[in-house]
Amino acid sequence: MRQLLLFMLILFFQQTAWSQDSAYIKNADTLLHHIPSRATKRSAMIPGWGQAYNKQFWKIPLVYGVLSIPAYAYVYNNDWYQRTKFGYEAKFKEANGDPSDIPKIDPRLSKLSLGSIQSYRNIFRRDRDYAIMWFILAWGVNVIDATVSGHLKEFDVNNNLSLRLIPYIQPSQQQSGLSLQINFKGSHAK
């Protein structure tokens, strides 16, 4: 019931929502050349390229830092997955009478039982797959950040904006509430 009420409120206020008018942007001639979809496409192709297009160069090391964590986790877990997979297959062959691959097993795995190596193999495979998922998720966050920053590039944040909440009463309909008043101060508002 709460979700339905929230949905109805969002629908009701969506009709009366206002956004900034591009006529109030002072540097409109320089901002007209910025296209947010280019930032999205560039960031989807190469991580950080969209942030560079948005001229947010300080975010590029953060993007690569965040992407390097799951990349390292993938390399580490894939390496151990390959070792435990080989160790499991060698131990399985030994159980069936062929001990030829036992000397090639990693020394840290050679004293473990077949079930233990199988358990480690499954853990490393799972963690490797999670690392792929986290890498894709981090890349997606990179694209979302470039898109949002590209759209907010035109957002006016100067000191000539003011916002006030004003109570109002409508005696004819016996209603009261709050009114949101936005004033744009500047040369055009005189």
Name residue 165's beta-bridge partners: 180
Cβ proximity of 3 and 102 under 8 Å: no
Q: Which has the closest alpha carbon to 93: 111, 79, 105, 78?
A: 105
β-pair type (175-184, 161-170) = antiparallel
Cα-to-chain-centroid distance, residue 173 = 47
- Please give the chain's pLDDT, 190 residues, in tens: 776 666 655 655 554 444 554 444 455 454 457 899 999 999 999 999 999 999 999 999 999 999 999 999 999 999 999 999 999 999 999 889 888 888 989 999 989 999 999 999 999 999 999 999 999 999 999 999 999 999 988 777 666 667 777 888 888 888 888 888 777 665 554 4
Q: How many CA atoms lie within 13 A of 108 on its CB side?
A: 4
State the Cα–Cα distance between residues 41 and 38, nearest whole angstrom: 5
Q: Looking at the whole model, is its pTM more than 0.85?
A: no
State the Cα–Cα distance between residues 99 and 150, nearest whole angstrom: 61
